[in-house]
Amino acid sequence: MNGTDVSIPVLDRLSDGLGELTPEARKAATYVLENPRDVGVSTVREIAEAAKVNPNTVVRMARQLGFGGYGDFRARFREAIRRGGADFPDRVRWLQDIRRSGAFGGLFADMARAAATNIEETFAATSAEALTAAARALWGSRDVYTLGVGVNSSNARNFTYLASTGMMNFHAIPKSGSTPVDDLAWADERDALIAITLKPYRSEVVEATRLARGQGLTIIGVSDSRASPVMRAADHGFLVSADTPQFFPSSVSTIALLETLLSFVISVASDEVIDRVETFHARRHGLGLYHGDAP
């Protein structure tokens, strides 16, 4: 668990008081210290069985630490999971535990709060000036490549699809049957790369960003940490928050940022973009692609 983990103070108290516990309680405490991630996703019986002690011993250990019982003790470790201080498998087990307990109301509230918080934190981490500078760089580029793999593949393609209504030089990569580095083979200082990756950072994106940097492309980095490899290589970097009670990182703030960036590109673009968008949609209406339109 990470350094901001809400369960860390509990572990410190447990470690400091280890010598004051009974031999059996010490066995339970030692197990918790060595396997803290198990606590948030395990019942008192499961912890007791793993530590080879009686369930009552685990309860007494929690009470000796000042908690009302095992439930209060476990709540601190569950909070760590909700805040992202656990790996994917642990968070999946936590979600399954919610299913067994019937606590879907809490999950609903946590998801809604996480989505709103992620957007707020993402927009608080940037500015209109930063978005304008990136938008001008994109509009002035010969070709713009938007790179995302895994869940960010759909985010990159959605961004490119929206851009295609008014601009013809936006390309989502990797293309089908290709690789990012192949798609960037002939790109140079006249082009730009929007590289999207969140922890755990995808090696394909990091490597393509490194090569693009060497080829002189303007790099727009979208990631969740200033320590991210794509942020360190970026000419224009944007931080997104992706915390969620789920086991996968949230795309809500990434989508919101990309939509906002695109709106800035349209804002700095020449008037021809307006004509293109009008022509694009007029053609769609003329072909009857929207329900209710006569072909």
Model confidence pLDDT, tens digit, residues 23-38: 888 889 888 888 887 8
Share of the chain above pLDDT 90, in %: 48
Q: How sure is the predictor about 2, in pLDDT bands with cuts at 50, 70 and 90?
A: very low
Q: How far apart are CA 218 and CA 189, in angstroms?
A: 7
> CB under 8 Å to 49, separation ≥6 — which residues?
none
Given a cut of 70, whether residue 59 has pLDDT beyond it is yes
Q: Determine the average pLDDT of the residues in 119-144.
A: 95
**Does the pTM of the predicted model rise above 0.85?**
no
pLDDT at 99: 66
Q: Are 234 and 226 in contact (CB under 8 A)?
A: no
Stronger pLDDT, 269 or 260, i.e. the higher one: 260
**DSSP codes joined into one string, 123-142:** HHT--HHHHHHHHHHHHT-S
* Helix residue ranges, H only, 1-87: 8-16, 23-34, 36-39, 44-51, 55-64, 70-82
Helix (H) or strand (E) holding 171: strand 170-173
Label residue 85 by pLDDT band (50, 70, 90).
low
Predicted confidence band of residue 90 (pLDDT cuts 50, 70, 90): low
More confident residue, 236 or 100: 236
Length of the chain: 295
CATH annotation of 117-286: 3.40.50.10490
Instruction: Map residue 13 onto helix, strand or coil.
Output: helix
The torsion angles phi and psi of 237, rounded to 5 degrees, stand at -115, 140
At residue 84, does pLDDT exceed 70? Answer: no
- Domain spanning 8-85 has what CATH number? 1.10.10.10
Q: How far apart are CA 190 and CA 210, in angstroms?
A: 17
User: Is 80 exceeded by the pLDDT of residue 185?
Assistant: yes
- For residues 264-279, average pLDDT: 80
pLDDT for res 3: 37
- Cis peptide leading into residue 249 (ω within 30°): no
Rounded to the nearest integer, the mean pLDDT of the chain is: 86
CATH topology match: 8-85 vs 117-286: no
Average the pLDDT over 46-60 and give the result.
92
What does the domain layout of the chain look like in residue ranges? 8-85, 117-286
